């Protein structure tokens, strides 16, 4: 079985990590901890008076470094759990738009399952920002488990 764990460092993705780490998996299960570095805003959203591309690339590069560290820490943390020690774990951080890249990775890696957290935004905020989890559920080529923090 191949499980794609999509993380962004939020509390909601932390819940997805907890669920994966606490589950007994079949021997030989492969886990890919996957994250997407992106700018908070698309390039076209920024005022053209600024050095748009440079600002965008700097932000994405910084986000990438943070996520590289995060996925390696998660890999170590999951390996230390009772059920995680037998998982074959790899990590990957890429740049792009999370909605698109998670679905693409699930397809190209031939994932059997995608596990992701959801922020649980309301309708207005979801309309303005989009919902990564919603898009992954709608377009992934495999089953998707979505976890929310119970406090939301």
pLDDT digits (tens, 9 = 90+) for 27-77: 999 999 999 988 554 544 455 555 555 555 666 778 888 999 999 999 999
Q: Reply yes or no on whether the pLDDT at 26 is more than 90.
A: yes
Q: Reply yes or no on whether the pLDDT at 80 is more than 70.
A: yes
Question: Which domains are seen in the chain, by residue range?
Answer: 2-147 (3.40.50.620)
pLDDT at 82: 92
Distance CA 85, CA 79 (A): 4
Q: What is the pTM of this model?
A: 0.84
Q: In what order do the strands lie in the sheet with 113-117?
A: 88-95, 30-37, 2-6, 113-117, 143-147
pLDDT at 119: 76
Residue 129: burial class (beta carbons within 10 Å; 0-12, 13-18, 19+)? exposed
Give the highest mean pLDDT range of 32-41, 119-128, 137-146: 137-146
pLDDT at 152: 52
Give the highest mean pLDDT range of 7-11, 50-54, 86-90, 120-124: 86-90
Contact indicator for 114, 4 with CB cutoff of 8 Å: yes
Across the chain, mean pLDDT equals: 84
pLDDT at 51: 57
């Amino acid at each position: 079985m191949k499980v794609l764990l999509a993380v962004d460092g939020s509390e909601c993705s932390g819940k997805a990590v907890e669920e994966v780490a606490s589950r007994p998996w079949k021997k030989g299960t492969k886990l890919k901890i996957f994250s997407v570095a992106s700018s908070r805003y698309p390039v076209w959203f920024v005022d053209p008076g600024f050095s748009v591309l440079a600002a965008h690339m700097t932000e994405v590069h910084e986000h990438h470094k943070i996520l590289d560290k995060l996925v390696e820490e998660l890999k170590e943390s999951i390996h230390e759990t009772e059920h995680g020690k037998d998982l074959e774990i790899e990590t990957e951080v890429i740049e792009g738009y999370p909605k698109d890249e998670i679905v693409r990775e699930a397809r190209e890696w031939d994932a059997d399952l995608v596990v992701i957290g959801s922020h649980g935004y309301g309708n207005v905020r979801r309309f303005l920002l989009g919902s990564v989890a919603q898009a992954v559920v709608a377009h992934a080529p495999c089953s998707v488990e979505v976890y929310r923090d119970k406090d939301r």
